[in-house]
Amino acid sequence: MHGIAGKGDVMSAEGVCFPEGFAASGMASGIKHSGKKDIALIYSETPCVAAACCTTNRAKSFSLLWSMKKIHNPIRAVLINSGNANALGGPEGWNITCRIMENLAGVMGISQENLLCASTGLIGRVLPEETILRVIPALVKGLSRDGGMDAAQSIITTDRHVKQVHFATGITGMSGNVKIGAMAKGAGMICPNMATMLAFITTDANILRGALKKALSNAVSESFNMITVDGDQSTNDFVVCLANGQARNSTIREGSPEFVEFSESLLEACCLLAKMIAGDGEGATKRMEVIVEGAWSKKDARRIAKKIAGSNLVKAAFAGSWPNWGRIAAACGSASARCDFRRIRISIGSHVVYDGAPVQYCEDDLRRTLSEKEVVFKIDLKQGNGRAVAWGCDLTEDYVRINMEKE
């Protein structure tokens, strides 16, 4: 079993509710003036081992400050709001966060030490405490195995599409296969540094905390950290994975075959979400996948892949389906990585455009390739074994329009 939102088995619970023992809810509280859903809750029947990656921005949301304090505890629930970043609202922001979480703990009958929270939206506004407190009872009451979609809808902002995945791994436990479910939000402020958006991953795996941390950190580094929409980094980026052990598989430890299997599944979930985010970049009409091979080192490959996927000039030319490969080469050369342009080979789709020197190509063919919904740019440096893949999108006039004023 393996599904992307809307494509999975309609009878089964979706997204974060797919693994055993998880429920979710989502609704409109009034934080967003538009009346759209803006608050979500994820709940596990039993305590979870948790791991998280969080923004490296020095201006961190109070929600993240809260969560990073509690992440080492057994976790039971995560409260998420959109429409307000809960960042830089002044010193009162921290107190408000604490009061909201205290209230949630009371309503749920769970210690606040076992609760996480996350926020996304406009920076610099105080979280509307009363608005949130008012809906907490309904949010808790609404928790359901069918609440995955409601929750996924509640955490998005300028996203055009809801982002959910769920699938079963090959690891079997006493309660069936270990499952993974997830939801994410992305769109703007997506950048090539650290967890660059919100993602909530649930699993019923029985796994040691250290192993979960290692698997998540690897997965994030190859997925969310390799997407770029505009090079801007949010104050609120957060990826969290909760494992409640209800699959009753034998405990997954680092280095075991099950660990390898679990890590690969987690990476797959993260890559699917990462690609959805890149393709849903603000104003984007199509997605690029940048594959760098033959680099001196993996670090060099990552730098080059992200530099190309993040170049405004490459992205704007891509928007116009203009085969200006010189911009790809220039971005490659400016990535602070070793490269020798007498050897390098650059391809757009299946067309080689440069191979130590410019290669003749049919411009019409190339324009057709560039106008597809997903285009692969491949750079072979012919220097070593370093390989990396990054995802990005085109830069359109709509990106600018959206970001000139929005809420």
3-class DSSP assignment, residue 92: helix
Q: How far is CA 230 from CA 206, 282, 320, 324, 394, in A?
A: 37, 9, 18, 20, 10
Reply yes or no on whether 228 is catalytic.
no
Q: How far is the CB of 236 from a second copy (least distance, A)?
A: 9
Q: How far is the CB of 225 from a second copy (least distance, A)?
A: 14
Report how far apart the first and last C-alpha atoms of the chain are (Å, whole number). Answer: 38
Query: Which residues bind to a second copy, rule: CB under 8 A?
Result: 56-60, 85, 87-92, 122-126, 188-189, 191, 193, 230-235, 310-313, 316-317, 319-320, 322, 324-327, 329-334, 336-342, 354, 356-358, 395-397, 399-405
Name which of 165 and 319 has its Cβ closer to a second copy.
Answer: 319
Name which of 262 and 354 has its Cβ closer to a second copy.
Answer: 354
Name which of 248 and 338 has its Cβ closer to a second copy.
Answer: 338
Q: How far is the CB of 191 from a second copy (least distance, A)?
A: 8
Per-position DSSP letters for 202-264, written without gaps between them: EE---B-HHHHHHHHHHHHHHTGGGB-SSS---S--EEEEEE--TT-PPPB-TTSHHHHHHHH
Name which of 220 and 370 has its Cβ closer to a second copy.
Answer: 370
Cα separation, 383 vs 297, in Å, equals 9
DSSP 14: P
Q: How far is the CB of 174 from a second copy (least distance, A)?
A: 46
Q: How far is the CB of 41 from a second copy (least distance, A)?
A: 26
3-class DSSP assignment, residue 98: helix
3-class DSSP assignment, residue 319: helix
Q: How far is the CB of 286 from a second copy (least distance, A)?
A: 13
For residue 184, which of 53, 307, 292 has the smallest C-alpha distance?
A: 53
Per-position DSSP letters for 283-306, written without gaps between them: T---EEEEEEEEESSHHHHHHHHH
- Catalytic one among 97, 157, 158, 196? 196
* DSSP H/E element including 129: helix 129-141
Name which of 64 and 135 has its Cβ closer to a second copy.
Answer: 64
Q: How far is CA 235 from CA 39, 56, 84, 184, 373, in A?
A: 19, 8, 12, 16, 30
Cα separation, 246 vs 21, in Å, equals 7
Name which of 26 and 188 has its Cβ closer to a second copy.
Answer: 188
Cα separation, 78 vs 186, in Å, equals 18
CA quadruple 141, 147, 148, 153: dihedral sign: negative
Is the separation of the CB atoms in 184 and 163 below 8 Å? yes
Q: How far is the CB of 50 from a second copy (least distance, A)?
A: 25
Burial-class residue 373 by CB neighbours within 10 Å (0-12, 13-18, 19+). Answer: exposed
* DSSP H/E element including 331: helix 325-333
Residue length of the chain:
407
Is the separation of the CB atoms in 155 and 80 below 8 Å? yes
Q: How far is the CB of 123 from a second copy (least distance, A)?
A: 3
Give catalytic residues, as residue numbers: 196
